[in-house]
Amino acid sequence: MSDPDKPFFVGYLPVPRALRAFLLVVCVIFVPGLAGLGLALGTAQDDPGEGAFRFDYGRQTVTGVVELTPYPVLRVTQGSEHVAVGQTLMLAGQGKTSVDARAAPLEGQLATASGVILDRGDLEMMQLRGGQNGLSAAEGAAPEMTTEPLGRWRLAGEICDGKCLAGAMRPGRGIAHKACANLCLLGDIPPVFVTTQPVEGHAFLLITGPGGTKLPAEAYHWVAQFVTVEGEVARRGDLLVLAIDPATLERAD
């Protein structure tokens, strides 16, 4: 038989005096507790880094030599306020599209590129404007550009798409970003390898298939995972390019 003196809360009636103190304590603990839990979950997440579109720079227009690695890059010979001579910019189009069709006819030639910069540490990319204003032939002869081979390396890290990692998406890496990264790579956005240890002072390398071919399809399975891989590294300006041997790809412990 129920105790008729036991306090019982009914929503449309005043709170029983005996329950007021208990409910007050629960409310005081519950609200700060949720805030603390949210803070703890937030601080436990990986730092997405400082990568971002640099709209604060404004549109940048630079001149340089177009190279295909096979992904298009620009070896800058005439810079701007925020792009120095000697930098090598990876090039991408709007969204998840490449600029291969525009860059291929200009390979080895001097060209003017215009667009917005994305950067994250030593990773730099330019998202070109649309049409001929984004990439066009420039007057003058292209100076000779050298490529310095740095030998075969075995590296540990993660395959990402260069655009999201540079700041188009955040965090832009990790297994939660795998589908987005693969869509970018299918669109021929330049892929990037993020190393656990710097290579010649660089934490990011443009990654290609063997012999300077595009990243092979079998490598897509390994995107956004912690892997080890071997390949030939070469320096193009201030950009390192890793031509991987797909047969050496394996999950890292």
CATH number for the domain harbouring residue 84: 2.40.50
Question: Per the structure, how many domains does the chain have?
Answer: 2
Asked if residues 238 and 88 have their Cβ atoms less than 8 Å apart, the reply is: yes
Residue 2 has pLDDT above 70, yes or no: no
What is the pLDDT confidence band of residue 132, given thresholds at 50, 70 and 90? confident
What is the pLDDT confidence band of residue 46, given thresholds at 50, 70 and 90? low
> Residue type at 243?
A
Short-list 80, 74, 63, CA closest to 124 = 74
Same domain, 158 and 225: yes
C-alpha 237/C-alpha 153 separation (Å) is: 19
Same domain, 83 and 128: yes
Same domain, 177 and 95: no
Assess if residue 39 is contained within a domain.
no
Assess if residue 97 is contained within a domain.
yes
What is the pLDDT confidence band of residue 48, given thresholds at 50, 70 and 90? low
**Residues of the chain with pLDDT > 70: what percent?**
97
Assess if residue 160 is contained within a domain.
yes
Same domain, 124 and 161: no
Q: Is the peptide bond before 171 cis (omega within 30 degrees of 0)?
A: yes
Range of the domain at 61: 52-137
Residue 1 has pLDDT above 60, yes or no: no
Same domain, 85 and 166: no
Give the model's pLDDT for residue 17. Answer: 81
Q: State which of 137, 155, 186 marks the end of a domain.
A: 137
Q: CB neighbours of 160 closer than 8 A, spacing ≥ 6? A: 172, 173, 177, 181, 191, 192, 193, 194, 223, 224
- Return the minimum-mean-pLDDT range out of 2-6, 156-160, 232-236: 2-6
What token pair was written down for 28? Answer: 């005081």
**Residues of the chain with pLDDT > 90: what percent?**
69
Mean pLDDT to the nearest integer, 214-242: 95
Same domain, 153 and 247: yes
What are the pLDDT digits (tens) for 172-226?
A: 888 889 999 999 999 999 999 999 999 999 999 999 999 889 999 999 999 999 9
Short-list 8, 205, 27, 26, CA closest to 124 = 205
Same domain, 81 and 122: yes
DSSP state of 164: I
What token pair was written down for 62? Answer: 């630079």
Residue 116 has pLDDT above 80, yes or no: yes
Assess if residue 45 is contained within a domain.
no
Mean pLDDT to the nearest integer, 231-253: 94
Same domain, 155 and 195: yes
What is the pLDDT confidence band of residue 129, given thresholds at 50, 70 and 90? very high
Assess if residue 60 is contained within a domain.
yes
Assess if residue 237 is contained within a domain.
yes
Same domain, 168 and 235: yes
Q: 12 phi and psi, to 5 degrees? A: -95, 10
Q: State which of 114, 137, 160 marks the end of a domain.
A: 137
C-alpha 248/C-alpha 207 separation (Å) is: 14
Q: State which of 137, 159, 186 marks the end of a domain.
A: 137
Token look-up 């971002």 returns: 52
Long-range contacts of 139-146 (CB under 8 A, 24+ apart): 139/110, 140/110, 141/110, 142/65, 142/108, 142/109, 142/110, 143/65, 143/77, 145/65, 145/67, 145/75, 145/236, 145/237
Give the model's pLDDT for residue 49. Answer: 63
Same domain, 133 and 157: no
Assess if residue 129 is contained within a domain.
yes
